Amino acid sequence: DSGVTQTPKHLITATGQRVTLRCSPRSGDLSVYWYQQSLDQGLQFLIQYYNGEERAKGNILERFSAQQFPDLHSELNLSSLELGDSALYFCASSQDSPYGYTFGSGTRLTVV
């Protein structure tokens, strides 16, 4: 157990729908990062939150959004889903240091 909890582990939904992925960071970690892993794009950084505020943005589509709540858990919202959004979505958390961070086990999203 890495200490980073992601729910749900698996999600199957239809095109056009909206889903919410949840991440609870490791205790004491203020930063949360979201990554997408797909066969064609590899591991792509989506967005980072630090203590409730957006800190950095990567290749996140406009249909996707995220937020970090006062208890530091984060949610990634994916809307108007397309088949190409099928991927593994990882959350990672860290303290404010350069020493890498801890990944959750991911949410596998399948859009049918």
Partner 1 sequence: AQSVTQLGSHVSVSEGALVLLRCNYSSSVPPYLFWYVQYPNQGLQLLLKYTTGATLVKGINGFEAEFKKSETSFHLTKPSAHMSDAAEYFCAVSDRGDTGRRALTFGSGTRLQVQP
**Choice between 14 and 39, CB closer to partner 1:** 39
| Residue keyed to tokens 């006062």 | 70
**Choice between 14 and 53, CB closer to partner 1:** 53
| 112 burial level (CB within 10 Å; 0-12, 13-18, 19+) | exposed
User: Which residues are at the interface with partner 1 (CB under 8 A)?
Assistant: 2, 4, 31, 33, 35, 42-43, 45, 48, 50, 55-56, 58, 90, 92, 94, 96-106
Minimum distance between the CB of residue 16 and partner 1, rounded to whole angstroms? 28
Decide: 67 and 56 in contact? Cβ < 8 Å.
no
